[in-house]
Copies of this chain bind each other. A is one copy, B any other.
Amino acid sequence: MSKIQSFGIIGGDKRQLYCGKSMEKDGYRIVYSGFEKICGSFDIDNTPFLTALKECDALILPLPCSRDGKTVNCPLADTPLAVENLKTVIGQKPVFCGMKNKLTFHDECIYDYAEGEAFAVENAVPTGEGAIELAMREYDGTIHGSRCLVTGYGRIGRILSAMLKGLGADVTVSARNERDLAYIRSAGMKAIHSERLAGQFDLIFNTVPHVLFDSRTLAASAVGSVLIDLASMPGGVDHEGAQRLSVPVLHALSLPGKAAPKTSGIIIKNAVYHIIREEGL
């Protein structure tokens, strides 16, 4: 059994609140800090940062835990929470955070819940749904019966393409290697080599993190499409080329937190629980 009985949820967005709410249901005592702007609508009390640090057996920081290395990433706080203050508890209690490399100090008691591949796979589900929600909002037809192209068969490509097929779309997926192309066909979808992208599509979802959609590829595959770019900055689309061809491009980032903070929060919770079990905390 774990010795941890209380967690401090320090900063972050709605994901962290849902993470904490779900932990409360599991029987933990939760203290929230850095949520002044939202605590009314979520029915929680906001605790001052230093009190929270002191009172809890363990801390959970957001994903990413910091953007500038100096303050905790806390968009819902009224005042910034200085990363410096965390040092007072480092070594004494476990600190769980996302992207721990954003902190300027290291310690074996700092655990990164976002570094495993399972975490990334799980987040591909809210990413995929967020992309579909976006497509539904922007595209004037139904997903059902639409011609969809998904580029890349990594985590997001694999899960998103299955969802589109589940809604009745006519799905084509591109990949670079024969193995993935075989898996795509075995899943009942059309497979196309990434270097020979061409065709007529109503919706294109790009998951490849380099400029796959240069002018030539846009002309061969994207005219008349809505293109949703899921690749992290700077994305996978030549925006000038797209404009010239009148292809609307939506660059969708950080979908899990925006589209499904509840699911994302529970994914964080499960990742923290997994570390606790594995490390015997």
Q: Which A residues between 92 and 129 are near B, CB-CB below 8 angstroms?
A: 116-119, 121-122, 124-126, 128-129
Are B118 and A144 neighbours in the complex by a CB distance under 8 Å? Answer: no
Selected interface stretch from A50-58, A75-83, A175-183, A204-212:
A175-183
User: Cα distance A159–B259 when bound, in Å?
Assistant: 24
Are A144 and B121 neighbours in the complex by a CB distance under 8 Å? Answer: no
Interface string of A124-146 (1 = CB under 8 A from B): 11101100110011011111110
Are B140 and A132 neighbours in the complex by a CB distance under 8 Å? Answer: no
Give the chain B neighbours of A132 by CB distance below 8 A.
136, 167
Query: Does any Cβ of B come within 8 Å of A168's Cβ?
Result: yes
Give the chain B neighbours of A121 by CB distance below 8 A.
179, 182-183, 186
Give the chain B neighbours of A119 by CB distance below 8 A.
182
Give the chain B neighbours of A14 by CB distance below 8 A.
140
Question: Hey, which bits of chain A sit against chain B, CB under 8 A?
Answer: 14, 18, 116-119, 121-122, 124-126, 128-129, 132-133, 136-137, 139-145, 158-159, 162-163, 165-168, 177-179, 181-183, 185-188, 259-263, 266, 274
Which chain B residue has the least Cβ–Cβ distance from A132?
B136
Are A186 and B136 neighbours in the complex by a CB distance under 8 Å? Answer: no
Closest 6 CB pairs of A and B: A166-B166, A118-B178, A121-B182, A140-B262, A141-B262, A133-B136
Are B167 and A168 neighbours in the complex by a CB distance under 8 Å? Answer: no
Are A143 and B129 neighbours in the complex by a CB distance under 8 Å? Answer: yes
A146 to chain B, nearest CB (A): 8
User: Cα distance A121–B262 when bound, in Å?
Assistant: 34
Pick the contact of A144: B116, B163, B168 (CB < 8 A).
Answer: B163
User: Cα distance A154–B73 when bound, in Å?
Assistant: 39
Are A260 and B140 neighbours in the complex by a CB distance under 8 Å? Answer: yes
A44 to chain B, nearest CB (A): 15
